[in-house]
Amino acid sequence: MSLARGVSRFAVVSLATLTLAAPSHATSLLHESLSVLTQQSELVLRATVLDIHSYWNADHSFILTDVHARPDLVLRGTAAGDVTFTLLGGTVGEITTLLIGGADLAPGAQYVVFLSHADLPGAAHRLTIREHAQGAFDVVNGRAISQAFSDPLLPDADGDTVVPGGAAGLTLDELAHQIRLLSNH
């Protein structure tokens, strides 16, 4: 099978598996406010990704990726040292599983991530990014920019579809301030 056909087949299978295996809110592209992201996350931190490791889950039905990161600022919750969390999708050999609207992280880069525990396909109770790309912010020149800024999001209950800070993002200080305020509610 060609690489393109393999990637395509697993992308379709991945979306079908994700729809069946995860809670419905986890696979939707429904806009989530900064308030919801913060209050539903156990841990919010700014961290540098140290390394990424993709692998097949226990029953070889889905590819998962463990992300090892070093926090330099904890905005909600507690983290003693490095943190490892798991994402849906990844590449093992010539097979790639893509998650449309998923977070895209790279070693050496810095992010603000919103994390909580969830059951992933074949991997129970893993720390993972909330609401996929909406729970990952790229840190660029002192600003935090939501990875979901170019994703078409369905309106939330207030009719909002714009990610926090819009395409320009928020300064790290402003995002940290808002998260701390929201954490105290």
For 157-167, what is the mean pLDDT?
91
Residue 75 class from Cβ within 10 Å (0-12 exposed, 13-18 middle, 19+ buried)? buried
One-letter-per-residue 3-state SS of 120-156 = ECCEEEEEEECCHHHHEEEEECCEEEECCCCCCCECC
- Asked if 50 contacts 69 with a C-beta cutoff of 8 angstroms, the reply is yes
- Asked if 72 contacts 48 with a C-beta cutoff of 8 angstroms, the reply is yes
Enter the pTM of the model.
0.83
* pLDDT tens digits for range 82-109: 999 999 999 999 999 988 889 999 999 9
* pLDDT tens digits for range 5-18: 444 444 444 444 44
Residue in 18, 29, 20, 66 with CA at minimum distance from that of residue 150: 29
Q: Domain range for residue 86?
A: 3-183
- Residue 168 phi/psi, 5-degree rounding, is -80, -15
- Cα-trace Rg, the chain: 16
> How many folded domains does the chain comprise?
1
Q: Which residue's entry shows tokens 């690489």?
A: 3
**Confidence label for 116 from pLDDT (cuts 50, 70 and 90):** very high
* pLDDT tens digits for range 129-148: 989 999 999 999 999 999 99
